[in-house]
Amino acid sequence: MKKLSKTAISAIAITAALSGPMQLNAAEEVKIEHLGTRNTLVRVPDAGKYLLLPVQDSNDDAKINVLVDGKLDKTINVRLAKSKVDYYVPFDLTPYKGHDLVLTVVTSQDRSSVREAKDDACWSNLTISDTFDTANREKYRPLFHHTPLWGWMNDPNGMFYKDGVWHLYFQHNPYGSKWQNLSWGHSTSTDLINWEQQPEALEPDGLGMIFSGSSAVDRTGSAGFGKDAVVAMYTSAAESQIQSLAWSDDNGATFTTYPGNPVLTLESEARDPNMFRDEKNNRWVLTLAHALEHEMLIFTSPDMKTWTLESAFGKGIGAQGGVWECPDLFELTVDGSGEKKWVLLCNLNPGGIFGGSATQYFVGDFDGKTFTADTDAEGNIPTKWLDFGKDHYAAVSWSDAPDNRRTLIGWMSNWQYAAEVPTLQFRSANTLPREIGLFKAGDGQIYASYSPSPELLALRDRAVTKSRGFNIGSKPRRIALPSENDGVCEIVITLNGQKADSIDLELQNEAGEKVVMTYNVSGNSLSFDRRNSGVTDFSHDFPAVTTAPTFNSDGKLCLRIFIDRSSIEVFESDGKFAMTNLVFPTKPYSSLSVSAKGGKARVDGIEVYSIKVK
Ligand code: FRU
């Protein structure tokens, strides 16, 4: 079957064109035979590029066995429509040209008769087509954030940079907008703004689904896959979670799985291998989440295939509420001092700062084998959070980024409600790409800074507002947001609250929905209230207030705020904090109102930019 999947990879064309189903003659029609109350056989004609599968999100999965010339090629799980079609997913037919293609479908519904089973909406709506419509029409689809063109997405993973291209892989279900059939989706960009979705890079195989992992360019060919091969290490997830390798000799477009897999097994749940090159010791270092033990294991290897356990970090340290997942370990220089420190990212779920999933990190030292976290003045290891919103998870960095950069991206959702958010053809976006750094704060401790990547300045189109400043009191001063693209924009605002208790920034729309951000001057904090932000009732965990420390004490706060249809990311202008929250307003937010409480305040400057993408 290898030959088939290779063809699949090169032949998938993702088109945005709109066209109706093809006219087929009798020999080219899909033939459906109902074999039992839950069992149906579908003969697929050798015509067209896609079989469009009708999906109903609320239905249970049907198991579809794909038989090619009578042999099982793969099994996929799809929520085939029962009473109505929510959307379609494309099953690519190009790999099967010239072959006999039969799908045997086992549905989940309880049926009293075959006649009843025949009425399911999926059967009359199975369609052969030469195109699959991925045009960006959903109201909550972001304009300038990466989303899959269709299907479910969770963690970003396996990212690397090579020859001017940023490769972003992601946990993808190409057959529906809920978590299932985990594959590595793949998108590429040369500017971190415009992303082009590529064919799936890794799909479930006999060892299981393809969970999160990492990739590295093997410059010396140490793994035996050739010099400059891109080597991916990921978790194969089935009955057990085991670690596997795959390599690519075409810059990450297609991967071949290593026949010696798995390369690492443990008795209890372990996942999300993240490896990097330790040049000094001429070997590879791997961090692996020992999920239920709340620890990150550190291994070393000369060749990525044989791994030696060196140490474990985490027992009893930091937030312990849920499983530990998606580690990342890297060195950074502390801003201004030149001191080198290591950062260990430990994503955890649940148990995040505002409930559900979130990213905690530790600052410390790494000697090539063991990570030791810094302590505070009392000798404790403090829990630090990388982002102070509810929708930032599984953040990891690109390997081999240029100019010594440490560029990260996160999944912009939360396991509490990710599968329920009000989108259909796609579910979930990534955060904006960000640069991580380190700074020493007033309490003497070292924290991570987290700023939008410099490339994002190119998003700015027109300055629809540019003001050198004005005084504010209790009466709100209203600033219009851009009229184009549903008001997506970047706002840069400098607040001066030295003579006030607090300053409110309110985003409002015609429907009376709002997001309230409050700068609490004496509390040195910024809060974000999305309880009345629009559609919030799909999960009781969604309405929430999140709060970030501002790391300042002079009453002045400069913010960069990115609004993109269903997300708001707030950054302190030097990256001292970041806060990422989803919102689902029924109408776009059209204005920003600024007011002060407990005294007069000032806006020392405000710029609002409309956004352009290619
Ligand atoms: C984190 C996670 C990872 C796992 C992946 C599966 O969100 O649970 O630990 O590899 O998602 O999709």
The pLDDT value given to residue 412: 98
Residues 385-411 have a mean pLDDT of 98
Q: Would you place residue 20 in the very low, low, confident or very high pLDDT band (cuts 50, 70, 90)? A: very low
Atom of ligand 1 nearest to the CA of 325: 9
359: region left, alpha or beta (phi > 0 left; psi from -120 to 50 alpha): beta
Ligand 1 pocket check for 171: Cβ under 6 Å: yes
Ranked by mean pLDDT, which of 19-33, 126-140, 391-405 comes out on top? 391-405
Residues 51-63 have a mean pLDDT of 97
- Calpha distance 266→242 (Å, rounded): 7
Known active-site residue 155 = yes
Q: Whose CA is nearest to atom 8 of ligand 1?
A: 325
- In the set 92, 155, 391, 486, the catalytic residue is 155
Atom of ligand 1 nearest to the CA of 182: 12
Residues 186-201 have a mean pLDDT of 98
> In angstroms, what CA-CA distances link 481 with 144, 323, 570?
17, 41, 16
Residues 47-62 have a mean pLDDT of 96
> In angstroms, what CA-CA distances link 451 with 304, 347, 395, 486, 579?
32, 19, 14, 25, 11
The pLDDT value given to residue 24: 55
Contact 286, 234 (CB under 8 A): no
pLDDT 10s digits, 363-381:
999 999 999 999 999 999 9
Residues 338-367 have a mean pLDDT of 98
C-alpha 392 – ligand 1 centre gap (Å): 14
pLDDT 10s digits, 146-170:
999 999 999 999 999 999 999 999 9
- Calpha distance 460→456 (Å, rounded): 8
**Strand runs labelled E in 545-600:** 545-549, 556-563, 567-572, 578-582, 591-597
Q: Would you place residue 350 in the very low, low, confident or very high pLDDT band (cuts 50, 70, 90)? A: very high
Please identify which residue in the block is written with the tokens 């890297």: 330
Ligand 1 pocket check for 326: Cβ under 6 Å: yes
Ligand 1 pocket check for 141: Cβ under 6 Å: no
The pLDDT value given to residue 110: 79
The pLDDT value given to residue 154: 98
DSSP 3-state of 117: helix
Q: Would you place residue 13 in the very low, low, confident or very high pLDDT band (cuts 50, 70, 90)? A: very low
C-alpha 250 – ligand 1 centre gap (Å): 26
The pLDDT value given to residue 7: 27
Mean pLDDT, the chain, rounded, equals 94
- Calpha distance 388→575 (Å, rounded): 12
The pLDDT value given to residue 326: 98
Q: Is residue 47 packed enough to be buried (19+ CB in 10 Å), middle (13-18) or exposed (0-12)?
A: middle
The pLDDT value given to residue 511: 98
Rg of the chain taking only CA atoms, in angstroms: 25
Q: Would you place residue 25 in the very low, low, confident or very high pLDDT band (cuts 50, 70, 90)? A: low
DSSP 3-state of 486: helix
Residues 226-246 have a mean pLDDT of 98
The pLDDT value given to residue 26: 58
Ligand 1 pocket check for 271: Cβ under 6 Å: yes
pLDDT 10s digits, 521-544:
999 999 999 999 999 999 999 999
Atom of ligand 1 nearest to the CA of 326: 9
Tell me how crowded residue 109 is: count the other CB atoms within 10 A of its CB.
14
Between 576 and 6, whose confidence is greater? 576
User: Which tokens in the block code for residue 10?
Assistant: 């090169």
Q: How would you label 516-533 residue by residue, b for 16+ Cβ within 10 Å and e otherwise?
A: bbbbbbeebbbbbbbeeb
> In angstroms, what CA-CA distances link 511 with 346, 536, 585, 587?
39, 14, 8, 7
| Residues facing 64 on adjacent strands | 76, 105
Atom of ligand 1 nearest to the CA of 272: 10
Residues whose CB is less than 8 angstroms from the CB of residue 492 and which lie 6 or more positions away in sequence, other chains included: 558, 559, 560, 561, 573, 605, 606, 607, 608, 609
pLDDT at residue 12 above 50? no
Ligand 1 pocket check for 185: Cβ under 6 Å: no
Residue 494 CA neighbour count, 13 Å, CB half: 11
C-alpha 347 – ligand 1 centre gap (Å): 10
